[in-house]
Structure 1
C-alpha cells in the first residue's frame, strides 16, 4: 500500500472492516504485550517466590511514571498527527513527529541519571520493606538504564497506528514479547539472575524492537519522515501535543500513585504477602483489559482522521460499533473471572495460600468489571478528537477521583477487604461519569443533527 493510501483508507474503507483491521492487530499486540508481563511474573513467582513478585510490584510505580511521559508524547502526538494527515498537512505531521523524538531523548537521559541517584530512596518512599527492597532494586535498575528503549517503542507505536498501519504496530509489540519470553528462563534460571534476569530480558527485548522501528521510519515505509530539521523543539507544537496527551499522562501517573497507595494499605492492613498476591492479580487485570484497549486504539485513528476530514457519519458509525464491541467483551470477561478465578491464579503459582488469597480478592475487585469497556472507550474518543478537557476528566475519574480515596478510606472500616472493595465502587462511579459526558456530547457521537448543520458541537470544555 502507498504511503498516502495507508492513511487515506481511514476515510474511505467501510467502518466495520476498517475497525476490524485496525483493532484486531492492536488487540493481538496488546495481548502479547500483556502476555510477556504475565510470563515475567510466572517465572519470577516460580523462580524467586512471592517476595520476588512483591518486589517487582513495589517497583512498578516507577516504571509507570516512565510510561506516563511516553504515553503523553505518543497518544498526544498520534492524535495531532492523525488530524494533520486528515487535513492533508503532511509537513506539519512530520514536525510533530520530530518534536516527539526529541522529548523522548530528553526523558531518557533523565531516566539514566535517576538510576544512579534516586532509585533506592524512591523505592523506600513507595513502600519497599527491607524484605523486598533488594528485589525491587534488582528489577528497576536495568529498566531505568534502558529508559530510551521503553519510551521510544511505546510512543512510536501510537504514531504507527495513527497513520493506519496497525499490522506493523502489532508486530512492534509481538517482537519484544517473543524475545522477552525466550530470554526470561535463560536469565532467571539458566544464569541464576533471579528478578534482575527478568529485567535484563525485558530491556534487551525493547532494544531489539527499537532497531526495527527506527528502520521502519528511516527507510520510507511510513507516511511520516524522520528528519534532523524536525527535531528542533517547537513549543507551539509541544503545547498541542502535551495538551492532548496530558490526560494519558495523568492516567498513567495516577496509576502509579494508585499503586503506591494500594501497596501501602496492603502492607499496613495485611503484609508483604498481599503485595505479592496483588502483583499477580494486577497482571490478570491487565490481561483482561487488553482487548478493550485494542478496540479503543483501533477506533482512535479512524475517529481522528474522519473528524479532521469532516466525515461525521463515519465518525458516528465508528463510535457506535466500538461501544457495542467493548461492552460485549467486558461482559464476557466478567463472566469468566467471576466463574473461574482459581484457574487464572493457578497459572502463576502452585502455592495454595496465594491461590486462595487471590481468588478471594478477585471476586471482590471484578464485581463491576462489566462496566469497564465504556470507561476505556470514552476517554479514548475525546483524546482522538483532541478534546483535552473531557479526556482529562475521564482519565482522572476512576483512579484519582474515586479509586485512590476509596483505597485510603475503606480499609479503616472493612480491613484488608476494603482495599479490594474500592475497585468495583470506583468502576460504578467512573462508568456513571462517562455516560453523563457521552450523553452531553451526543450530538457529536450519536445524532444526525451535527451533519445537517455542518459542524460538530462539543457541549463542554471545547479546546
Structure 2
C-alpha cells in the first residue's frame, strides 16, 4: 500500500484507489473489532457470562459519547474532502480546528453528566439484578477515557480525508493491541476483575489519542492548525453539525436499540438472554469489518471527486464500492450460517447461552448479503454534503424499521421476534436506500456528466 496524497484521490484508478483506502480501513476495523471480541472472550472466560452482559449494558453510553467525536469527524471530514478537492485548504484548516473545539466541548460535558447520573443510566440500559454492580464498576472507569476516544474518532476520519489510510489504520491498531495486553495483565495476572477490564479499555483510548496527536504534529499531515482555526465559526459549525448529526443520530439510535433490546430480552429470558445479545453484538462489530472498511474507503474518494466535479469518477466509485462490499458481505453470511455453534463456544461455555445463540445469530445475519447497498447508499449522501437524505436513509434501518418491529414482534414470537426484526429491517431499508440512490444518481451525476 503506497502513500496517498489528497490530490491522488482525484486521479488514480478507482479500483486500485478503493483498495488502498479500504484495505487499511478494514484492517483497522478488524483489529479494533478483534479487540472487542477478545476482550469479551477474556471477560466471559475469566469473570463469567454475567460480566459479558454487564459490558453490553455499558456500551450504549460510552459508544454515544465516543460517537460525538465520530459524528463531528465525519461531518467535518466531508467538508475537508470537498474543500481539498476544490483547492480550498484554508477552509479545510478552519473546519479541522472547529472539529477539535467541538469534540472537546461536547465529550467532556457528556462525560460529566454521565458520571452524575450513573445510578439512573445503568439500570435503564438493562443493568438490573446481578448485572448492576459489575456494570456500574465498568461504566465509571470507562467513562474517564471516553473523551480521548471521542478525539481519536474525530481525528481518525480527518486522517482519512487527507488520503492517509495507513495512518488511520495504525491509530486503530495501537490501542487495540495495547488493550489486549492490558486485559491479560489486569484481569488474568492481577485479578482485578471488571475494574481491570475497564482500566484496560480506558488506557487504550489514551494510547490511541497519543498516536493521533503525533500524526497531526508530524510532517505527515497537511493540516497544521493555528490558534485562530480553533475559534468556532457559525457557518462551519452548522455544516459540521448538519452532516455530523447523521452519524450521531445513527449512534444514538444504536444506544436506544441496546436499551430496548437489553430490557426486552431481560424480561423474556433474564441475564442469559442479554448475554446472547452481547455475543451477537460483538459479531456484528467484528464480522462486518470488510464491508465497513469499504464504506470508510468510499467516503473520501466520493467526497473529493464530487468537490472536484469529477462526476463520472463518483459514479464509478459507487458501483465499485457496492460490488466489492456485496461480495465480502456474502462471504461473511456463509461463514456465520455454517459455523455459528463454533463461534459461540469461543465466547463462553455457559450451556444456556451456547444453546440459544446460534439460531439467533442466523436470523440477525440473514440479510447480510444485501446490506452493502444500504451502507454505501446512505454514505454517499453524507459524502457529498446532503445531510437530510443521509440522515433519513441512515436512520431507516435501525430507527424507522427495526425499533417498531422489535416492539411488536416479540409479543407474538417471544425472543425469536427480536432476532427476526433484524433481518426484516435490513431488507426494507435496503429497498428504500436503493430507490433513492438510483434516483439521485440519475438526477445529479448523470445530468451533470452530460
Q: What range describes the TM-score normalised by the shorter chain of this pair?
A: over 0.9
Q: Post-superposition shift, 1:193?
A: 1.4
Is contact 2:149–2:208 with CA below 8 Å preserved after alignment?
no
Q: What aligned pairs does 1:151-166 form with structure 2 within 5 A after superposition?
A: 151-166=150-165
Is contact 1:27–1:293 with CA below 8 Å preserved after alignment?
yes
Hey, what does 1:451 align to over in structure 2? Answer: 449
- TM-score normalized by the length of structure 1: 0.94
Hey, what does 2:424 align to over in structure 1? Answer: 425
CA shift in 2, pair 1:322/1:2, >3 Å: closer
Is contact 1:111–1:144 with CA below 8 Å preserved after alignment?
no
Is contact 2:65–2:147 with CA below 8 Å preserved after alignment?
no
Q: What aligned pairs does 1:28-427 form with structure 2 within 5 A after superposition?
A: 28-427=27-426
Q: Deviations over 1:322-360 (max 9, x none)?
A: 010111111111111111111211221223332111112
Q: Deviations over 1:82-138 (max 9, x none)?
A: 011111110111111011111111123224423531122111222221311111111
Q: Post-superposition shift, 1:209?
A: 2.0
CA shift in 2, pair 1:210/1:96, >3 Å: same
Hey, what does 2:21 align to over in structure 1? Answer: 22
**Residues paired across the two proteins, number:** 450
Larger displacement relative to structure 2 (301-310 or 134-143): 134-143
User: 2: CA distance between counterparts of 1:115 and 1:250?
Assistant: 18
User: 1: CA distance between counterparts of 2:215 and 2:443?
Assistant: 35
User: 2: CA distance between counterparts of 1:214 and 1:227?
Assistant: 15
CA shift in 2, pair 1:234/1:189, >3 Å: same
Is contact 1:379–1:395 with CA below 8 Å preserved after alignment?
yes
Is contact 2:246–2:391 with CA below 8 Å preserved after alignment?
yes
Q: Post-superposition shift, 1:269?
A: 1.4
Unaligned runs of 5+ in 2: none
Unaligned runs of 5+ in 1: 453-463
Q: Deviations over 1:268-306 (max 9, x none)?
A: 111111101110111011112211111011011111000
User: 1: CA distance between counterparts of 2:225 and 2:210?
Assistant: 14
CA shift in 2, pair 1:439/1:112, >3 Å: closer
CA shift in 2, pair 1:258/1:112, >3 Å: closer
User: 2: CA distance between counterparts of 1:365 and 1:113?
Assistant: 35
User: 2: CA distance between counterparts of 1:284 and 1:123?
Assistant: 23
RMSD: 1.7
Q: Post-superposition shift, 1:237?
A: 0.5
User: 1: CA distance between counterparts of 2:144 and 2:446?
Assistant: 52
Q: Deviations over 1:242-275 (max 9, x none)?
A: 1111111111100000110101110111111110
Q: Post-superposition shift, 1:68?
A: 2.6
User: 2: CA distance between counterparts of 1:245 and 1:106?
Assistant: 15
Q: Post-superposition shift, 1:448?
A: 4.5
User: 1: CA distance between counterparts of 2:365 and 2:2?
Assistant: 45
- TM-score normalized by the length of structure 2: 0.97
Q: Post-superposition shift, 1:444?
A: 5.9
User: 2: CA distance between counterparts of 1:272 and 1:199?
Assistant: 20
User: 2: CA distance between counterparts of 1:19 and 1:125?
Assistant: 42
User: 1: CA distance between counterparts of 2:70 and 2:209?
Assistant: 16
Is contact 1:82–1:304 with CA below 8 Å preserved after alignment?
yes
CA shift in 2, pair 1:444/1:384, >3 Å: farther
CA shift in 2, pair 1:115/1:258, >3 Å: closer
User: 1: CA distance between counterparts of 2:92 and 2:312?
Assistant: 25
CA shift in 2, pair 1:313/1:444, >3 Å: farther
For residue 189 of structure 1, give the secondary structure of its aligned residue in structure 2.
helix
Is contact 2:66–2:147 with CA below 8 Å preserved after alignment?
no
User: 2: CA distance between counterparts of 1:199 and 1:114?
Assistant: 19
Hey, what does 1:7 align to over in structure 2? Answer: 6
Is contact 1:111–1:147 with CA below 8 Å preserved after alignment?
no
User: 2: CA distance between counterparts of 1:181 and 1:127?
Assistant: 26
Q: Post-superposition shift, 1:147?
A: 2.1
